[in-house]
Amino acid sequence: MSRPPAAREKILDAYCDLLRRDGERAATMDSTAALAGVSKGGLLYHFKSKDALAEAVVERLLAAAERDQAVMATAEEGASRYFVRTSLQSGSDLDTTYSAVVRLAAGAYEPAVRALDTVHRGWLELIQREVGDPHAAGAIMLMGEGLYYHSTLPGTWSRGTFVESLDELLRQVDRLKSGS
Amino acid sequence: MSRPPAAREKILDAYCDLLRRDGERAATMDSTAALAGVSKGGLLYHFKSKDALAEAVVERLLAAAERDQAVMATAEEGASRYFVRTSLQSGSDLDTTYSAVVRLAAGAYEPAVRALDTVHRGWLELIQREVGDPHAAGAIMLMGEGLYYHSTLPGTWSRGTFVESLDELLRQVDRLKSGS
DNA sequence: GTCTATATCTCGATAGAC
DNA sequence: GTCTATCGAGATATAGAC
């Protein structure tokens, strides 16, 4: 359990935040360094290139997703409800990193695309294990992903709408789970 | 019904394609002009700035969505099935433009965010009109949006998975529709 | 209406001081 | 381990020829 330098983590946090909030275009090394409170030279000591930064974010996602899926697999409410409920952005480490990787994938960065594949497979697998019917499981996963998609678009009406009705949405999940 | 110059449309097509396939970063004026088969000067005759390009894409989305929602409102299969079915990228004008605007919104471009709000409200409204129960309608909309989200991520496993099971997914839509 | 040439700015990355 | 200074590439945008 080596403890990575605090500066390194601050830089990664800043890069993920910029990706999530302002998009790939705004997530430059200059603005990342500024937000992290270090100079460009300081940043480049920890990450030799921009690719190295992106790589580190992808690794962070895979680690966070593995931890989260361990929790999801044993959640009392069941994997489906856990998944849909936590698809709303809450500011957790997984949220932020996942959103950042989605932005990287949107920029056609291959390692990000592959990492998302892995994470998505894991989620569907866990939901299927609980639900049984693979198509009901697929529908539940899509609901969660739709919720994520809406919660990640900057400042929209839909986020508020769906946040307010989360309880009722979870009851729709129950309907998909039961029978058929 | 003024007919806009062919070059202008080709430029917009190229810009949308680049945004969708390669992200905001890659969608530069240089590469847009190259893909459209015009020079940078030619591009700048039709669009005085990059912002003007983005604006035109947003307007195109609003027009395409209005046309599509008119079809959706009277679709024989019902608005819900129509919506979920067409959430899979098919290469239609609406698909391409919507994806492009989502990328612009991810870059925190406010007019894109507002346009998406408008379009999303319209979709949910039409689904609710068919389904009755607003929460079932919300769940159906989220399924469609999840499907869109997966189909727009470049080259993933999930796209294939959900494409293959579209018929069964539509039956899950029916389950959500029928009696709460 | 479309092109070339060019000015200006910002990004990513290197070099070297401290 | 962190900083400043600076270079080359690529981005937006302007000017003006055809």
- Residues of B numbered 63-122 whose beta carbons fall under 8 angstroms of chain A's beta carbons: which are they? 102-103, 105-108, 113, 116-117, 120-121
Residue B160: its chain A contacts at CB < 8 A? none
Residues 6+ apart with CB under 8 A from B101: B57, B58, B61, B112, B115, B116
CB A18 within 8 A of CB A32: yes
pLDDT tens string A63-109? 999 999 999 999 999 999 999 999 998 889 999 999 999 999 999 99
Mean pLDDT of A167-180: 92
**Three-state DSSP string of B33-53:** HHHHCCCHHHHHHHCCCHHHH
Confidence of residue A154 (pLDDT cuts 50, 70, 90): confident
Backbone φ, ψ for residue A88 (5° rounding): -75, 130
Residue A176: its chain B contacts at CB < 8 A? 139, 172, 175-176
Confidence of residue B2 (pLDDT cuts 50, 70, 90): low
**Hits for CB < 7 Å against strand D across B residues 43-102:** 44, 48-51
Distance in angstroms: CA A40, C1' D2: 9
Distance in angstroms: CA B29, C1' D13: 11
Residue A111: its chain B contacts at CB < 8 A? none
The Cα angle at residue B112 between residues A16 and B12, in degrees rounded to 5: 110
- Residues of A numbered 4-23 whose beta carbons fall under 8 angstroms of chain B's beta carbons: which are they? 21-23
Chain centroid to Cα A113, Å, comes to: 13
pLDDT of B52 reads: 98
